[in-house]
Amino acid sequence: MIRYTLRRIVFALFLVLAVSSGALILARLAPGDYASGALGIEAQRETVEQMRARLGLNKSIAEQYVDWLAAAVRLDFGRSLQYDRPVSDLIPERAANTAILSLTAIVLATLIGVPLGVVAGSSQSGIVRSVIRAGSLVLLSTPPLLTSLFLVFLAARTGWLPIAGMRSSGVPPGDAWLDLVRHLIVPAAAVGLPLAAMLERLQAQATSEVIDQPFIAAARARGASARRIVWRDALRASLAPVASVYGLIVGTLLSGSFAVEVITAWPGLGSLMLDALRTRDVFLVAGCAGAGAVFLAAGTLVSDLALAAIDPRTRES
């Protein structure tokens, strides 16, 4: 188990390094740079050159990369060119916002998807099964880009919920939590609902497979109630295949929350990265990509380890 953990951690570190290096180099290779963008096309050639020299953009890619890498080892990830603040100051706040959004979405998806999946997988009634399945199929066909557009439209039309941002101004500190929750509903539902549909389908399949197993028949023969069998024995046995999906979800979650962050103006990592890419803020791009990779690596690591703890067979591959 220790060796397995170590191997996974090494892979995670490699992932973070490769992704942030790749992002830095790609951002540097891109035509145009921060200086020409910030000063506009009418700027004097010398002014642009001066700004480049001041920001260190006149160095070659290799030189800049080595400098950045040497600093990164000391946990100095460079300064954002547009905000003129260290990247390591800017990222944690935005990353926390993305984490709040993603975690809420996962919890929401689990609370909706898994119980409905158990019902759909175990119900004797064809109507219940088809209604749940139809609902899931509709939600599976509305990726976060679409759910967020539709939900924002609904929220704005009805005026029930705020449609953009994370906080409203002028809210007394006592109500800050409630305010955050109100802002969270639309984006979290936009990310979480398609995910809930996916979990529901998986859980329904796992449940219906488990229910045909001999140990369920045995439990029934011993006189256990149907409710107890479905919600205790079958649920426990069917959770493993569903749990293994959570590791894969992390990547989807980041991709999905990107569109949602842009549409609902949620101040997360995705909107920061887009902002950085547009202004060619190279160090911030690298920082955002690295932070995204940390998320990803942490997510897959935790779910892999959890799975390995449950099921020793997975440690081998």
Partner 1 sequence: MRNPGAFIVAAAAFAALAAPLLSSHTPDDRHPRLLNSPPTIPHIKDDGGQWRAPFIYQWRLVNQLEQRFEEDRSTPVPLAWFPRGRIIASADESTAPFMPLGTDSYGRDVWARLLFGARASLGIALLAAAGAVIVGALLGGVAGYVGGTTDDALMRATDFVMVLPAMYVALALRSVLPLVLPPLTVFTLLTAIFAVVGAPFVARGVRGIVRTERRLEYAAAAEALGASDVRLLVRHLLPAARGFLAVELTMLVPAFVVAEATLSYIGLGFPDPIPSWGTMLHDASNVRVFVDFPWLLSPAVAMFIVVFGLNLALQGRRPGVESIR
User: Which run of H or E residues covers position 257?
Assistant: helix 246-263
Per the structure block, which two tokens stand in for 264? 């609902």
Output the smallest distance, CB 135 to partner 1, in A: 12
Three-state SS string across 117-133, please? Answer: HHHHHHCCCHHHHHHHH
How far apart, in whole angstroms, are the C-alpha atoms of residue 205 and residue 122? 9
Structure-token match 């759910």, residue found:
147
Residue 163 in the binding site for partner 1 (CB under 8 A): yes
Encoded amino acid at 228, one letter? R
Pick the closer one to partner 1 by CB: 108 or 210. 210
Per the structure block, which two tokens stand in for 93? 């706040």
Please tell me whether residue 86 adopts helix, strand or coil conformation: strand
Output the smallest distance, CB 300 to partner 1, in A: 6
Q: Given candidates 13, 30, 103, 310, which one binds partner 1 under the rule CB under 8 A?
A: 30
Q: How many residues does the chain have?
A: 317
Q: Given candidates 23, 119, 188, 234, which one binds partner 1 under the rule CB under 8 A?
A: 23
Q: At what angle do helices 235-243 and 87-122 cross, to 10 degrees?
A: 140
Residue 292 in the binding site for partner 1 (CB under 8 A): yes
Q: Given candidates 48, 112, 166, 254, which one binds partner 1 under the rule CB under 8 A?
A: 254
Residue 133 in the binding site for partner 1 (CB under 8 A): yes
Q: Given candidates 143, 161, 220, 314, which one binds partner 1 under the rule CB under 8 A?
A: 143
- The piece of 1-9, 173-181, 194-202, 222-230 that touches partner 1 (CB under 8 A) is 194-202
Residue 112 in the binding site for partner 1 (CB under 8 A): no
Q: Are 280 and 24 in contact (CB under 8 A)?
A: no
Q: Given candidates 184, 201, 219, 238, which one binds partner 1 under the rule CB under 8 A?
A: 201
Per the structure block, which two tokens stand in for 213? 């197993």
In the chain, the N- to C-terminal Cα span, in Å, equals 13
- The piece of 25-33, 58-66, 83-91, 225-233 that touches partner 1 (CB under 8 A) is 25-33
Residue 204 in the binding site for partner 1 (CB under 8 A): yes
Residue 127 in the binding site for partner 1 (CB under 8 A): no
Report residue 56: phi and psi, to 5°: 75, 20
Which residues face 86 on adjacent strands?
79
Output the smallest distance, CB 233 to partner 1, in A: 19
Q: Are 166 and 97 in contact (CB under 8 A)?
A: yes
* DSSP label at residue 314: G
Residue 296 in the binding site for partner 1 (CB under 8 A): yes
- List contacts with partner 1 (CB under 8 A): 15, 18-19, 22-23, 26-27, 29-32, 120-121, 129, 133, 137-138, 140-143, 145-146, 149-150, 152-153, 156-157, 163-164, 198, 201-202, 204-205, 208-209, 251-252, 254-256, 258-259, 262-263, 273-274, 277-278, 285, 289, 292-293, 296, 300
